[in-house]
Amino acid sequence: MERSSRMADIGIMGGTFDPIHNGHLLLGEQAYREYGLAEVWFMPSGDPPHKTDHRVTPATDRCAMVRLAIQDRPYFRFSDFEVMRTGKTYTAQTLRLLREQYPQHRFFFIIGADSLYEIEHWYHPESVMAQTILLVANREYEKNHREIQDQIRFLKAHYEHADIRLLHCAEMDVSSCELRRWEADGQPIQNFVPGSVNDYIEEHGLYHPKRRETT
């Protein structure tokens, strides 16, 4: 990614993107428009420490799907910032490195409501909240009775530098995990991912163990 010398507000959409789906694009679009961001950088993770329940699809495939998904939006940019790093990648470290490489930018980290309730279990959450503005999708987390505004007040009270703002859009009620399972079971997922991503999944036999065995 080219390094710009001009100051800008940049959104960061991080994740494994295994696969990227329309919900990710919806959040990125809302953040771009609601907060007047210059760009949103889609940043696939390299070796995420929290994804231990399944084998993560190779980075080459995940990056290819992200590139395809965002190709029609000039204000969406692909970033290999995390993928190119070795070892486990943590958000706190990524933000520190981004701020060192792009000191002229202000970063807005875009997350779903579930991540807001789990952020205290992240690696150095105090560092994460000190280095970025959090943009959070506005819905109640199904595993917690506390409304999102209550969670924001709780985090601001416990983390001095927390700057947490709402995105006024609903998250798409589907996860990458569900899409992988549906695809493996032969259920169509084309209504939940961009057409180009669906074509890539089918062409490369992603999430189809039997198909991979025969290729």
Determine the pLDDT at residue 208: 84
Produce one character per residue of 104-142: b if its CB has 16 or more CB atoms within 10 Å, e if not. Answer: ebebbbbbbbbbbbbbeebeebebbbbbbbbbbbbbebe
Residue 84 lies in a domain: yes
> Alpha helices, DSSP H only, in 79-175?
91-101, 113-118, 125-131, 148-158
Each of the 215 residues of the chain gets a pLDDT tens digit; together they read 555 568 999 999 999 999 999 999 999 999 999 999 999 999 999 866 655 556 899 999 999 999 999 999 999 999 999 999 888 889 999 999 999 999 999 999 999 988 999 999 999 999 999 999 999 987 655 555 468 899 999 999 999 999 999 998 866 778 999 999 999 999 999 999 999 999 999 999 999 875 444 43
Residue 91 lies in a domain: yes
Residue 39 lies in a domain: yes
Residue 149 lies in a domain: yes
Residue 179 lies in a domain: no
Residue 22 lies in a domain: yes
Report the domain count for the chain.
1
- pTM assigned to the model: 0.89
Q: What is the CATH number of the domain that holds 46?
A: 3.40.50.620
Determine the pLDDT at residue 147: 84
Residue 46 lies in a domain: yes
Which residue segment(s) compose the domain that 84 sits in? 9-173
Determine the pLDDT at residue 133: 98
Residue 200 lies in a domain: no
